[in-house]
Amino acid sequence: MSDYWVLLGIALVVVGFALKFNPLLVVAVAAIATGLLGGLNPLAVVAALGKAFNDNRYVSIVWIVLPVIGLLERYGLQQRARAAIERMRGATVGRLLIAYLAFRQILAALGLTSVAGHAQTVRPLVAPMAEAAALKTHGPLDESSIERVKAMAAATDNVGLFFGEDIFVAIASILLIQGVMSGYGIALTPLQISVWAIPTAVCAFVIHAARLMLFDSRLGRARR
Amino acid sequence: MITLTWLYVLAGAVFAAFALTSAIDRTNAKRFGNAAFWGLLAISFFFGDALGDLGNGVLVLVMVGIAGFHLLGRGNPPTTDLAEREILSERLGNRLFLPALVIPVTAFAGTLLFNYTPLTDAGLIEPRWVTLILLGIGVLIALGVCMAWLKPPVLAPIEEGRRLMDSIGWAALLPQMLAALGAVFALAGVGEVIGGIAGSVIPQGSVFLAVLVYALGMALFTMIMGNAFAAFPVMLAAIGVPILIVADGANPAVIGAVGMLAGFCGTLMTPMAANFNIVPAALLELKDQYGVIRAQVGTAIPLLACNIAILYFASFL
């Protein structure tokens, strides 16, 4: 089947990412290869790439928060976030991140997805707080443990966002489900769909919260 | 009416400022690479709609070339050191949190205001982009508060923003590039081929296996595309509608909602979802660019199993 050749682009992406080539280069090469194998002429491929890039500029808007975050870091915001945790009794990484998970899931379920995020809240507040909480309860940690604490802060933001937002009726993915289903003559209201996001949201909270507690206790054992 | 275009002009101005300050930063040996990279992004935000598809395509390829051939360096704009920050943090106290909270609070209050009061119909803000535009407004308010209160040098927000932007580097562009790759995949018919494969591996008569292939297919195809939205119509067409809903009589609301969430489990495990998985690793200056994904796999796999169970039991209630 000659059709299967278009899948070569996927293989290029997997191999390129695995070999740690520059991802931008990998993606551009995969896009051009896929387009050519799919029977488009080279100029049409470049044009398709350009159109999609232009249509998706809104994805990069979030970087306009960097001047504010950078400015606050200049005046000691991260140090302040650490100090606040150090003074708080009973603050541990596990408890702190579970609280953030709940906060993120609830806000996302209310449709407030841009309120928090990696640039807005994780880098300036959540990651330094988590690091401070880990150092406070477990004493000095090696570099790889601190890396894992920060990575877990970012992971918690993602889990909270992904498995909270679909409970909100007007989010893009619910509207997409409704739209695609109606294409098959299946009429669903957004509310009918979004209530079925609740069981998964509960599972996500339970699983990730349990992992955070486990992570916290293992961090204690891995201490130097 | 405030539209997305206003926000693009603001973003264009920010990136143009990053480009100009990069060009004169002698601490960065590759300063012209940085200037060109952020300058081209500024051009994309200012003039993207006027460049035409081919023009934008060429712009993208030049930016990829700059990043791919290691012409992007890292500037060292003047800032405070750790000791100074400790002192400033003590002196300024918890009030430092206030400007940081202005951005989320503006988005929060604004969204409520625009969705649940008569302002909804006032036509002040383009409805589709309310939250993003409020984010922009929050940034401007927070910036104003910081400048008035802290009185930093005039260029400080740009220089500090550039410090963070350079630490993210090429990764900042990856989400947009992957969206572009998704569009080319769609044009070349990748979705139909994958859907055909998924549809043909289902054994006859087993509802559980059909559910399994549907959920795993959503997760795997999402990992390939980096986005559950691209996977959903394909898997629904291949398995969800013809096999689960029509032949087996599954509840379409469950198939839709939980199928999408099975895809989100895939999003947690793929570098293709760069804005969630790769960009934060750069933003937090992690050594392992896959560190965030490694932290997520332990949640994603059991959660995918839960989704399969929910699909199997709830679809046929």
- Distance from C-alpha of B265 to C-alpha of B297, rounded to nearest angstrom: 9
Residue B75 in this model has a pLDDT that exceeds 70: yes
Q: Answer yes or no: are the C-beta atoms of A25 and A11 closer than 8 Å.
A: no
- Distance from C-alpha of B107 to C-alpha of B189, rounded to nearest angstrom: 39
Compute the Cα dihedral for B198, B204, B206, B207 and give only its sign.
positive
- Out of A73-82, A204-213, B75-84, B163-172, the most confident range is A204-213
- Contact yes or no for B187 and A35 at CB 8 A: yes
pLDDT digits (tens, 9 = 90+) for B271-315: 988 889 999 999 999 999 899 999 999 999 999 999 999 999 999
Q: What is the DSSP letter of B94?
A: G
Closest-CA distance, B36 to chain A, in angstroms, reads 16
- Contact yes or no for A23 and B274 at CB 8 A: yes
Q: Which amino acid is at B55?
A: G
> How much of chain B exceeds pLDDT 70, in percent?
99
- Contact yes or no for A24 and B173 at CB 8 A: yes
* pLDDT for res A223: 53
Q: Tally DSSP H helices, then E strands, for chain A.
A: 11, 0
- Contact yes or no for B278 and A77 at CB 8 A: no
Contacts of B301 (CB under 8 A, 6+ apart): B265
Residues of B (151-210) whose Cβ lies below 8 Å from A: 152, 156-165, 168, 170-185, 187-190, 193-194, 196
- Contact yes or no for B286 and A71 at CB 8 A: no
Q: Which residues of A touch B295 (CB under 8 A)?
A: 148, 151-152, 154-155
Mean pLDDT across chain B, nearest whole number?
Answer: 90
What confidence tier does A222 reach under pLDDT thresholds 50, 70, 90? low
Residue B87 in this model has a pLDDT that exceeds 50: yes
Q: Which residues of A touch B175 (CB under 8 A)?
A: 56, 59-60
Closest-CA distance, B206 to chain A, in angstroms, reads 23
* pLDDT for res B34: 95
- Contact yes or no for A204 and B292 at CB 8 A: no
State the complex-level ipTM: 0.88
Burial of A127 from C-beta contacts in 10 A (0-12 / 13-18 / 19+): buried
* pLDDT for res B234: 84
pLDDT digits (tens, 9 = 90+) for B197-251: 877 887 677 889 999 999 999 999 899 888 888 888 888 888 898 889 998 899 9
* pLDDT for res B188: 84
Compute the Cα dihedral for A116, A122, A128, A133 and give only its sign.
positive
Q: Answer yes or no: are the C-beta atoms of A88 and A99 closer than 8 Å.
A: no
Q: Answer yes or no: are the C-beta atoms of B44 and B14 closer than 8 Å.
A: no
* pLDDT for res B199: 79
Contacts of A115 (CB under 8 A, 6+ apart): A107, B104, B107, B108
B63 or B174, greater pLDDT: B63
- Contact yes or no for A67 and B161 at CB 8 A: yes
- Contact yes or no for B96 and A25 at CB 8 A: no
The encoded tokens of residue A28 equal 């551009």
The residue-averaged pLDDT of A10-16 equals 87
- Distance from C-alpha of B2 to C-alpha of B140, rounded to nearest angstrom: 14
- Looking up tokens 């990136």 gives B15
A47 or A221, greater pLDDT: A47
Residue B93 in this model has a pLDDT that exceeds 80: yes
pLDDT digits (tens, 9 = 90+) for B125-143: 887 788 788 889 999 999 9
* pLDDT for res B138: 92
* pLDDT for res A1: 45
Whether chain B has a CB inside 8 Å of the CB on A5: the answer is: no
Mean pLDDT across chain A, nearest whole number?
Answer: 90
Q: Answer yes or no: are the C-beta atoms of A28 and A15 closer than 8 Å.
A: no
A contact test, residue of B91, B96, B218 with most A CBs within 10 A:
B96
Query: Which stretch of A135-139, A148-152, B222-226 has the lowest confidence by average pLDDT?
Result: B222-226
The residue-averaged pLDDT of B98-102 equals 88
Q: Answer yes or no: are the C-beta atoms of A97 and A131 closer than 8 Å.
A: no
Residue A2 in this model has a pLDDT that exceeds 60: no
* pLDDT for res B101: 85
Q: Answer yes or no: are the C-beta atoms of B146 and A154 closer than 8 Å.
A: no
Q: Which amino acid is at B185?
A: F
Whether chain A has a CB inside 8 Å of the CB on B8: the answer is: yes
* pLDDT for res A155: 98
Residue B266 in this model has a pLDDT that exceeds 50: yes
Compute the Cα dihedral for B179, B269, A146, A125 and give only its sign.
positive
* pLDDT for res B182: 80
- Distance from C-alpha of B187 to C-alpha of A87, rounded to nearest angstrom: 56
> How much of chain A exceeds pLDDT 70, in percent?
98
SS3 A192: helix
Find the CB nearest B296 among A28, A155, A195.
Answer: A155
Closest-CA distance, A130 to chain B, in angstroms, reads 12
Q: Which residues of B touch A148 (CB under 8 A)?
A: 291, 295
> How much of chain B exceeds pLDDT 90, in percent?
57
- Looking up tokens 């572009």 gives B180
Find the CB nearest B296 among A30, A158, A199.
Answer: A158
Q: Answer yes or no: are the C-beta atoms of B108 and A115 closer than 8 Å.
A: yes
* C-alpha distance from residue B38 to each of B58, B61, B174, B218, B309 (Å): 15, 14, 14, 36, 47
The encoded tokens of residue A214 equal 């486990």
* pLDDT for res B59: 96
pLDDT digits (tens, 9 = 90+) for A174-200: 888 998 898 889 999 888 999 999 999
Whether chain A has a CB inside 8 Å of the CB on B242: the answer is: no
- Looking up tokens 């994904």 gives B293
Q: Which residues of B touch A39 (CB under 8 A)?
A: 188
φ, ψ of residue B306 to 5 degrees: the values are: -60, -45
> How much of chain A exceeds pLDDT 90, in percent?
54
Q: Answer yes or no: are the C-beta atoms of B145 and B102 closer than 8 Å.
A: yes
- Contact yes or no for A28 and B64 at CB 8 A: yes
Residue A136 in this model has a pLDDT that exceeds 80: yes
Helix axes B130-150, B4-23, angle to 10 degrees: 50
* pLDDT for res B112: 78
pTM: 0.86
For the stretch B118-124, contacts whose Cβ atoms lie closer than 8 Å and that sit 24 or more positions apart, written own/partner, are B123/B1, B124/B1, B124/B2
Q: Answer yes or no: are the C-beta atoms of A218 and A206 closer than 8 Å.
A: no
Beta bridge partners of residue B2, listed in sequence order: B125
